[in-house]
């Protein structure tokens, strides 16, 4: 094992996460014991002490819920890294700006929660925002936490691009699927592939790409399209794109296996790709609401600034109940 650095690093990360779970449980246990000591003297406490105890109880409940969710993430791919694709919907600049806002929200979430990310592909809009972007999110149960973000995200706001200050509704889609490792065999017939090269979009100056190093691969059998342009090397972009394609095919196969389960839950709100899952209203009031769980928050700026854990956790709890 000592000669396999990748495996060693993965085991060390796994050990760190398991240690963190054990430490969290011990802290919860200690906090509960301390609060239990107040039971016998509760009647003699003043209002200030009681308020402090209630505050500590609320905090303990949040810590318990957080630990519970970590232990619930036990599906086959929950521990995997996650590919996150964001696509602007119809509506031109409005939707492209909204897609970039979503991109910023997820990257801020990563920065604040010790997740790393690699840019795979990014297509800028003509005037503002992005047409699409793809990232590989790496860290503790990245796919497990983000998997329920797949779907349509709706924004209602006063458009900064409308000189008349009218309210606009924009849509962008998010697709999250797990990165598969070398232990999962995915067979692909080269005859089912169409591989195109194109010039990658550069950031300007010395970063402008002057060669056709970007790769787009179409899997004709399922009409799946992936592309990569972040690397300077065409070979590296092709390698990344093939990895994405295998992950997409694996995700497709998992979806087929879960089809009967989804049909059984047809009366409930669907969560899969192509369905509106969350509404972000910035005018005439501020409210972000998950349409599957009914979890909502009026602190829109905070959520759009990457503090989305409450929504991720509510969707995981709701999915576990089902």
Specify whether 93 is located in the same domain as 164: yes
Residue 206: per-residue pLDDT: 42
User: Of 20, 38, 72, at which residue does a domain stop?
Assistant: 72
Domain that holds residue 123: 82-183+269-321
Domain boundary among 22, 44, 72: 72
Task: Please say if the pLDDT value at position 74 is more than 90.
Answer: no
Pairing of strands 287-290, 276-281: antiparallel
Per-residue pLDDT tens for 41-61?
888 888 888 888 999 999 998
Number of C-beta neighbours around residue 207 at 10 A: 10
In this structure, is residue 263 part of a structural domain?
no
> Which tops the pLDDT comparison, 169 or 39?
169
**Is the pLDDT confidence value at 73 over 90?**
no
Q: What is the pLDDT of residue 307?
A: 95
Both 285 and 175 in a single domain?
yes
**More confident: 108 or 75:** 108
**Interatomic CA distance for residues 24 and 18, integer angstroms:** 10
Domains: count for the chain? 3
In a domain, 62, yes or no: yes
Whether residue 277 is found in the same domain as residue 178: yes
Asked if residue 21 and residue 169 are part of one domain, the reply reads no
In sequence order, what are the residues at sequence separation of 6 or more whose Cβ sits closer than 8 angstroms to the Cβ of residue 127? 92, 93, 96, 161
Q: Is 55 in the same domain as 88? A: no
Reported as a pLDDT band with limits 50, 70 and 90, residue 292 is: very high
Question: Is the peptide bond prior to 284 cis by the omega test (within 30 degrees of 0)?
Answer: yes
Asked if residue 303 is part of any domain, the answer here is yes
Cα distance between the two ends of the chain: 40
pLDDT band at 90 (very low <50, low <70, confident <90, very high): confident
Q: Looking at the structure, do residues 92 and 179 belong to the same domain, yes or no?
A: yes
- 166 and 87 in a common domain: yes
Percent pLDDT > 90 in the chain is 49
Higher pLDDT, 19 or 13: 19
Averaged pLDDT, 137-153: 93
CATH at residue 284: 3.30.70.1660
What's the whole-number mean pLDDT along residues 91-117? 94
In whole angstroms, what is the distance from residue 294 CA to residue 288 CA? Answer: 10
pTM: 0.76
Asked whether residue 264 is assigned to any structural domain, the reply reads no
Within a domain: 77: no
Lowest mean pLDDT among 65-79, 92-106, 155-169, 269-283: 269-283
The confidence score (pLDDT) of residue 209 equals 52
According to the model, what pLDDT value does residue 133 have?
Answer: 96
- The reply to whether 232 and 169 lie within a common domain is no
Q: Do 101 and 60 belong to one domain?
A: no
Same domain, 165 and 195: no
| Residue 227, domain CATH | 3.30.160.20
Residues 276, 291: contact at Cβ < 8 Å? yes
Query: How does strand 193-198 pair with strand 214-219?
Result: antiparallel
In this predicted structure, the answer to whether residue 312 has a pLDDT above a threshold of 60 is yes
Mean per-residue pLDDT of the chain: 85
Is 218 found in the same domain as 200? yes
Write out pLDDT tens, residues 250-274.
Answer: 888 877 766 644 443 443 333 334 5
Transcribe 174-225 into DSSP letters.
Answer: EEEEEPP-TTS-----GGGEEEEEEPPPP-SGGG---S--EEEEEETTTTEE
306 Ramachandran zone, left/alpha/beta (phi>0; psi -120 to 50): left
Domain end position, chosen among 236, 257, 278: 257
Q: Where are the alpha helices (DSSP H) in the chain?
A: 5-36, 47-72, 93-112, 142-146, 234-257, 259-264, 300-304, 309-321
> Do 173 and 102 share a structural domain?
yes
């Amino acid at each position: 094992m000592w000669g396999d650095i990748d495996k060693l690093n993965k085991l060390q990360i796994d050990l760190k996460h398991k240690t963190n779970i054990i430490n969290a449980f011990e802290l919860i246990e200690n906090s509960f014991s301390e609060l239990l000591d107040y039971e016998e003297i509760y009647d003699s406490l003043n209002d200030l002490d009681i308020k402090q105890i209630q505050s500590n109880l609320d905090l303990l409940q949040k810590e318990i819920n957080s630990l519970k969710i970590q232990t619930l993430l036990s599906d086959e791919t929950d521990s995997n890294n996650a590919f996150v694709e964001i696509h602007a919907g119809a509506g031109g600049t409005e939707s492209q700006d909204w897609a970039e806002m979503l991109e910023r929200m997820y990257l801020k979430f990563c920065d604040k929660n010790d997740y790393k990310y690699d840019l795979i592909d990014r297509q800028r809009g003509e005037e503002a925002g992005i047409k699409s972007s793809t990232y590989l999110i790496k860290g503790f149960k990245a796919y497990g936490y983000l998997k329920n973000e797949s779907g349509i995200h709706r924004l209602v706001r006063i458009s900064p691009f409308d000189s008349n200050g009218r309210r606009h509704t924009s849509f962008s889609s998010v697709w999250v699927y797990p990165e598969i490792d070398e232990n999962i065999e995915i067979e692909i017939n080269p005859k089912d592939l169409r591989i195109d090269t194109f010039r990658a979009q550069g950031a300007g100056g010395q970063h402008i790409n002057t060669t056709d190093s970007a790769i787009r691969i179409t899997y004709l059998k399922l009409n799946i399209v992936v592309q990569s342009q972040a690397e300077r090397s065409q070979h590296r972009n092709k390698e990344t794109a093939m990895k994405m394609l295998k992950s997409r095919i694996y995700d497709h196969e998992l979806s087929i296996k879960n089809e009967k389960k989804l049909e059984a839950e047809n009366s409930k709100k669907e969560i899969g790709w192509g369905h509106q899952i969350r509404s972000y209203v910035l005018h005439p009031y501020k409210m972000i609401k998950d349409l599957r769980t009914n979890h909502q928050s009026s602190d829109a700026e905070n959520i759009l600034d990457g503090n989305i854990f409450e929504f991720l956790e509510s969707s995981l709890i709701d999915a576990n109940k089902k």
